[in-house]
Amino acid sequence: MSQKPSLPRGTRDFGAAEVARRQYVISAIRRTFERFGFAPLETPSFENLSTLTGKYGEEGDQLLYRILNSGDFLSDVTAEDFGGGYRKVAPKVADKGLRYDLTVPFARYVVQNRHALTFPFRRYQVQPVWRADRPSKGRYREFVQCDADVVGTDSLLGEAEIVLMIHEVLTTLGLPYVLKINHRGLLRALYHQLSVGAGALESEANALTGETAEPSISEADFYTALDKLDKIGVGGVRDEMIRRGLPEQLSDKFSNERLQIEDLAQPLSSFRLAHLSQQGYAATASGQTAISDLENLLHLLEESGFEGWANLELDLTLARGLSYYTGCIFEVKIPGASVGSVSGGGRYDNLTEGFGLKGMSGVGFSFGIDRLCDVLDELGGYPTALETTTQVLLVQFEEPATRAAALRTLAQLRAAGLSAELYPEPAKLKKQFAYADAKRIPYVVILGPEELAAGTAKVKVLATGAEHELALEVELVRYLLAA
Amino acid sequence: MSQKPSLPRGTRDFGAAEVARRQYVISAIRRTFERFGFAPLETPSFENLSTLTGKYGEEGDQLLYRILNSGDFLSDVTAEDFGGGYRKVAPKVADKGLRYDLTVPFARYVVQNRHALTFPFRRYQVQPVWRADRPSKGRYREFVQCDADVVGTDSLLGEAEIVLMIHEVLTTLGLPYVLKINHRGLLRALYHQLSVGAGALESEANALTGETAEPSISEADFYTALDKLDKIGVGGVRDEMIRRGLPEQLSDKFSNERLQIEDLAQPLSSFRLAHLSQQGYAATASGQTAISDLENLLHLLEESGFEGWANLELDLTLARGLSYYTGCIFEVKIPGASVGSVSGGGRYDNLTEGFGLKGMSGVGFSFGIDRLCDVLDELGGYPTALETTTQVLLVQFEEPATRAAALRTLAQLRAAGLSAELYPEPAKLKKQFAYADAKRIPYVVILGPEELAAGTAKVKVLATGAEHELALEVELVRYLLAA
């Protein structure tokens, strides 16, 4: 029985050229991570579902790939379960799931190995993750993330190094970028605006002590709405907040007074932070922490000789959906590219708490390799000649003596470190040259009966058509090594 | 809710040291593959189950990891299906499966891209595969294979290059090895022995034309029994063949006359092949092809300057379970190591037939990275200092001016290509040194108020306790680069 082969949606094969491009991007990131003192970690492709579920919100749980238990996976499923539908059945037929990101497996690893690790613990991780998401431009069901995290310290040096590494990697790749920064404390200050009416940030303390009512929209819902500002605009966020429970009047007031986009996303600078203080953000405890954190971050960057100032933007709407961020939040976009963010991260104080380990503050970020590659494809940023192809093809002739000479020469070329092949059959010369052409092999070595008798080989340079007759084997090997 | 984190059985985390060791092995293989003209390919982690099922035999199908369909995976399952048990339900709740090996996805890729590829097509592939097997020593549920295959030619050069690559990789890794070689034609000749009684190999032709009856044990069952010879001995194989249908008398006769182990596994040499001919193996068509293939293989190796003759063994019982081999069969064991084979492969003529493409002969082999690493762990074959760790730790002091100087120095060390960290907090010196010790960071740089005033930094070499005072920053960077 034969079948037309195909790939699952949202997945891709990578041929030699794509592998070379992906390796180019990954190497740039890996080199930077290593010079910043991060060491590699690899975790299994699947984890127990108990490790994964409940960590990515309800939407994330739905995007997890679950692995059917081996053998009789129905053995624990009763007819009643079956009647209860798939949500009831799922936990009984699958106890493992594919890695959804690298952060949760990292938290699991840290807790599991906490007695053996040296803290602050710095690790990087480059591995694929899987999400049962709807495939679209820049969104795949299997994609590779490159994460770097440091846990066990709340030093802002971690945040500063993230900015430095993002700058270094993207500069190395020749990509322009905008690094958006926000702080959970500023988001929270904005949120409490809602409960007291816009323009009175200093009342957050009162709001927290219960002197004013909690806003009628949840904190998470508010961030979700706000996060969409650049997609749906001020009016859209206003409507979204109403839909999620905020009274129309409050939503209007807040949108008019606080959601002026030009005001919300501005270059990050001491000047800008001072302005925020004037606007009342520093009057609240969380706002004060946020502004002081960001000021310290700027100092650290200055002292580190940071040169990417023009790329930094303070974006007060940046929330990145994930509710686990507790301090600075980062996101990187590439101007002129049609994919979403290529990097993101932030500080989290409670990530290992779900695994029973409290008080382990950390900060980390992730590059999306597939999107970086898409951007480089789109903007044309790859160096030429990345692909590792065969450098030398030896032609095969009928005569046994020439084959023996070719095999000996082949062994010598390889021993010298060259990538070389002997065409596997004594086919017509035209066919053998067509093979070299199609594979873009730059040099073809001809070692026929005449050359063999003369103790030489002919090298043909396919790009120019030039031919060189060289003595076997030292002269030939030298020529090709230098070519 | 907190939970004790754990890993699924048969899976492992790899910390920095393990990642370095695995990379060392993978790099050695990759370099060899590339010098032999193989180019990289990567396929998705999961494939449509229609691509995978029926390719690995019944046992293999049971070891496939199936991925539960997203959303309401029960929507197509009727109560009748449910009553029919898990085999009935499985195809309706899962249409994707995790990669089981790299060969079948490769065959799928070749067929899918046959109009774009250049044949003979040479690819290598280094990726994890997953099997729901019972975990044991050297057997994991997630493990990495390194495959190299060439398809689109039946030239024995492919076989010769496999032998050369195995020799080169294992020699590079410093491992002794035994490369067992067999040929499907010799296995078939042995099989036909059964139908005509031992000692009459020349009658195969008669057997094939129906002049003698087919043996009462299937060809596949015979190979399975034979493959176990080194585990269960001659008596075991005799019993196994009887259990699988062979009359006792035939099984006895065959075991006594043909299954003398010392006779079956011998150095591979022209002498040995000539001896096989004398024993009657060359009198059958398939036996003749086999002997001529092996003779040609030896010639090709000789002409290539092969130096690993003492490692080659002709093992007439080697079948490697997989029924798709049609020519030479390879398997590599490491003497003195307690894991099974670390490499295996062979020629296949019909691999792409299941995807609708006939006449695409190929030959390939695979290294098992995890077993190679286990062997190197066991026999102690890793070079020292593989792990990439931070090379320099800068101590952090309280004074703001020293921090600024440390950050500037840190940036310079990194710009020079060194892996360097600043301890993230101005903790006690003892704590910072303990951190360097635990992470085996070789150099600690002290840049306190006194050093700063003098325009110097102190370098402490942790291994010796030696201290050097060096001028900032050129002298310091130079010293550490040379260290």
Mean pLDDT score of chain B? 91
Contact B229, B237 (CB under 8 A): yes
CA–CA separation, B15 and B37 (whole Å): 32
**Bridge partners for A264 per DSSP:** none
Question: Is the pLDDT reported for residue A446 higher than 90?
Answer: yes
The band of A382, judged by pLDDT with boundaries at 50, 70 and 90, is very high
Which residue's structure tokens are 């190995």?
Answer: A113
Give the model's pLDDT for residue A261. 63
Give the model's pLDDT for residue B56. 87
Nearest Cα to Cα of residue A198 among A258, A144, A245? A258
Give the CA-trace dihedral at B69, B70, B75, B80, to 10 degrees: 30
Q: What is the pTM of this model?
A: 0.93
Tell if the CB–CB gap between B420 and A45 is shorter than 8 Å. Answer: no
Question: Is the pLDDT reported for residue B110 higher than 90?
Answer: yes
Question: Is the pLDDT reported for residue A369 higher than 50?
Answer: yes
Question: Is the pLDDT reported for residue B209 higher than 80?
Answer: no
Give B372-388 pLDDT, tens digit per residue. Answer: 999 999 998 898 878 76
- Token duo for residue A159: 């945040």
Give the model's pLDDT for residue B261. 63
Give B393-447 pLDDT, tens digit per residue. Answer: 999 999 999 999 999 999 999 999 999 999 999 999 999 999 999 999 999 999 9
Tell if the CB–CB gap between B7 and A47 is shorter than 8 Å. Answer: yes
- The better pLDDT of the pair B474, A321 is held by B474
Query: Per this entry, what is the length of chain A?
Result: 483
The band of A217, judged by pLDDT with boundaries at 50, 70 and 90, is confident
Nearest Cα to Cα of residue A180 among A317, A300, A272, A314? A314
> Nearest chain A Cα to B392, which residue?
A37
Question: Is the pLDDT reported for residue B453 higher than 70?
Answer: yes
CA–CA separation, A392 and A423 (whole Å): 10
Three-state secondary-structure class, residue B215: coil
What's the mean pLDDT in A313-342?
A: 90
Give the model's pLDDT for residue A105. 97
Nearest Cα to Cα of residue A329 among A354, A363, A305? A363
CA–CA separation, B123 and B148 (whole Å): 6
CA–CA separation, A41 and B87 (whole Å): 38
Side-by-side strand order, sheet with A142-151: A39-40, A121-130, A142-151, A362-368, A343-348, A328-333, A178-183, A312-315, A265-267
Give the model's pLDDT for residue B195. 67
Give the model's pLDDT for residue A25. 98
Nearest Cα to Cα of residue B214 among B239, B250, B258, B257? B250
Contact A29, A169 (CB under 8 A): yes
The band of A194, judged by pLDDT with boundaries at 50, 70 and 90, is confident
The phi and psi torsions of A309 (rounded to 5 degrees) equal -50, -40
Tell if the CB–CB gap between A4 and B356 is shorter than 8 Å. Answer: yes
Question: Is the pLDDT reported for residue B205 higher than 80?
Answer: no
CA–CA separation, A3 and B8 (whole Å): 34
Give the model's pLDDT for residue A22. 97
CA–CA separation, B404 and A302 (whole Å): 9
The CA–CA distances, whole Å, from B78 to A73, A340, A341, B81, B88 equal 16, 41, 43, 5, 10
Residues from chain B contacting residue A111 (CB–CB below 8 Å) = 5
Give the model's pLDDT for residue B200. 46
Tell if the CB–CB gap between B74 and A65 is shorter than 8 Å. Answer: no
Q: How far does the CA of residue B192 sit from the closest CA of chain A (Å)? A: 28
- The better pLDDT of the pair B264, B25 is held by B25
Find the range with the poorest average confidence among A148-162, A201-215, A350-364, B163-177. Answer: A201-215
Give B284-304 pLDDT, tens digit per residue. Answer: 899 999 999 999 999 999 999
Question: Is the pLDDT reported for residue A385 higher than 80?
Answer: no
Which of B5, B48, B418 minimises the CB distance to A108? B5
Which residue's structure tokens are 């579902």?
Answer: A49
The whole-angstrom distance between residue B459's C-alpha and the CA centroid of its chain comes to: 44
A312-315 and A265-267: which strand pairing? antiparallel
Mind giving me the DSSP string for A201-260? GGGHHHHHTTSSPPPSS-HHHHHHHHHTHHHHHHHHHHHHHHHTT--HHHHHHHHHHH--
Whether the ipTM is more than 0.95: the answer is: no
CA–CA separation, A161 and A32 (whole Å): 11
CA–CA separation, B418 and B412 (whole Å): 9
Contact A423, A432 (CB under 8 A): yes
> Nearest chain B Cα to A16, which residue?
B40
Mind giving me the DSSP string for B222-242? HHHHHHTHHHHHHHHHHHHHH
Sign of CA dihedral A376, A380, A383, A386: positive
Contact B297, B283 (CB under 8 A): no
Mind giving me the DSSP string for A424-481? SS---HHHHHHHHHHTT-SEEEE--HHHHHHTEEEEEETTT--EEEEETTHHHHHHHH
- Token duo for residue A431: 């066919």
Which residue's structure tokens are 């340079």?
Answer: A461
Mean pLDDT score of chain A? 91
CA–CA separation, B265 and B278 (whole Å): 17
Q: What residue type is assigned to position B406 of the chain?
A: A
- Token duo for residue B413: 């060390």
State percent of chain A over pLDDT 90.
Answer: 74
Tell if the CB–CB gap between A86 and B108 is shorter than 8 Å. Answer: no
Tell if the CB–CB gap between A43 and B424 is shorter than 8 Å. Answer: no
CB atoms within 10 A of CB B370: 21
Give the model's pLDDT for residue A245. 87
What's the mean pLDDT in A358-365?
A: 95
Tell if the CB–CB gap between A70 and B439 is shorter than 8 Å. Answer: no
Question: Is the pLDDT reported for residue B18 higher than 70?
Answer: yes
The band of B211, judged by pLDDT with boundaries at 50, 70 and 90, is very low
Give B240-251 pLDDT, tens digit per residue. Answer: 999 988 888 888
Q: How far does the CA of residue B402 sit from the closest CA of chain A (Å)? A: 10
Give A2-46 pLDDT, tens digit per residue. Answer: 567 899 999 999 999 999 999 999 999 999 999 999 999 999 999
The band of A202, judged by pLDDT with boundaries at 50, 70 and 90, is very low
Three-state secondary-structure class, residue B431: helix
State percent of chain B over pLDDT 70.
Answer: 94
Cis peptide before B473 (omega within 30 of 0): yes
CA–CA separation, B301 and A127 (whole Å): 39
The whole-angstrom distance between residue B37's C-alpha and the CA centroid of its chain comes to: 19
The phi and psi torsions of A349 (rounded to 5 degrees) equal -105, -15
Question: Is the pLDDT reported for residue B198 higher than 60?
Answer: no
CA–CA separation, B221 and B58 (whole Å): 13
CA–CA separation, A90 and A86 (whole Å): 6
- Token duo for residue B229: 């010879």
CB atoms within 10 A of CB B145: 19
Give the model's pLDDT for residue A214. 62
Three-state secondary-structure class, residue B256: helix
Q: Who's near B22: CB < 8 A, 6+ residues apart?
A: B14, B144, B369, B373
Burial status of residue B400 (CB atoms within 10 A of its CB: 0-12, 13-18, 19 or more): exposed
Three-state secondary-structure class, residue B126: strand
Return the residue in A99, A421, A441, A477 with the most chain B beta carbons within 10 A, the one to mutate for interface testing: A421
**Bridge partners for A159 per DSSP:** none
Tell if the CB–CB gap between B155 and A128 is shorter than 8 Å. Answer: no
State percent of chain B over pLDDT 90.
Answer: 74
Q: Who's near A94: CB < 8 A, 6+ residues apart?
A: A49, A66, A67, A68, A69, A73, B68
What's the mean pLDDT in A216-227?
A: 84
Residues from chain A contacting residue B54 (CB–CB below 8 Å) = 1
Question: Is the pLDDT reported for residue A109 higher than 60?
Answer: yes
Q: How many CB pairs under 8 A join A and B?
A: 284
Question: Is the pLDDT reported for residue A78 higher than 80?
Answer: yes
Query: Per this entry, what is the length of chain B?
Result: 483
Residues from chain A contacting residue B66 (CB–CB below 8 Å) = 67-68
